[in-house]
């Protein structure tokens, strides 16, 4: 039988010794050292959780966006791209906030595929985008829409 690793316990014991030595340092250096000890302690806690976790459940496939395992996944990706493209051809503007509506977690990938198809198939559309930042505290994101190309009738 394998004995469990006690990473967090061993690191905590060593950090306790370092924290006792920090008492002999000037206040600024002692606080800096204690902060570093806290970070190391949090890393030890995460490492212990990884060691204790059952094999295969650290990074389950269903939590990763973009994992294509079955025919249903391929069909779902195709349907999402088609729904996004259809919405944009009807004049809608789409963004990351529409991911749930289109049942995708890869909006940027879908837009990239649409952009590539417009270029390669020479479709009569121009893909436009704009930076949107509704709240200054949040990161910005892009909003996309299509406009028809002007046809040369010569």
pLDDT level of residue 49 (50, 70, 90 thresholds): confident
pLDDT level of residue 116 (50, 70, 90 thresholds): very high
Q: What does pTM read for this prediction?
A: 0.53
pLDDT number for residue 17: 93
Domain 65-148 has CATH 1.10.10: yes
DSSP the chain: -PPPP-HHHHHHHHHHHHHHHHTTS-HHHHHHHHHHHHHHHHHHHHHHHHHHSPTT-SS-GGGSTT---SHHHHHHHHHHHHHHHHHHHTT--EEGGGHHHHT-S-HHHHHHHHHHHHHHTT-SEEEEEEEE-SSTTSPPEEEEEEEEPPPP--
Q: Residue ranges of the domains in the chain?
A: 7-52, 65-148
9-19 mean pLDDT? 92
Highest mean pLDDT among 49-53, 59-63, 109-113: 109-113
Is residue 154's pLDDT more than 50? no
């Amino acid at each position: 039988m394998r004995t469990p690793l006690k990473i967090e316990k061993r690191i905590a014991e060593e950090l306790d010794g370092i924290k006792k030595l920090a008492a002999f340092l000037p206040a600024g250096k002692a606080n800096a050292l204690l902060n570093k000890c806290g970070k190391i302690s949090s890393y030890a806690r995460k490492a212990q959780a990884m060691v204790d976790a059952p094999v295969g459940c650290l990074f389950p496939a269903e939590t990763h966006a973009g994992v294509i395992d079955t025919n249903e996944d391929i069909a779902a990706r195709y349907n999402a791209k088609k729904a996004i493209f259809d919405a944009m051809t009807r004049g809608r503007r789409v963004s990351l906030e529409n991911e749930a509506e289109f049942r995708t977690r890869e909006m940027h990938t879908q837009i990239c595929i649409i952009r590539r198809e417009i270029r390669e198939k020479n479709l009569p559309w121009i893909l436009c985008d704009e930076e949107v930042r509704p709240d200054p505290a949040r990161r910005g994101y892009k909003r996309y829409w299509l406009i028809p190309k002007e046809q040369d009738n010569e």
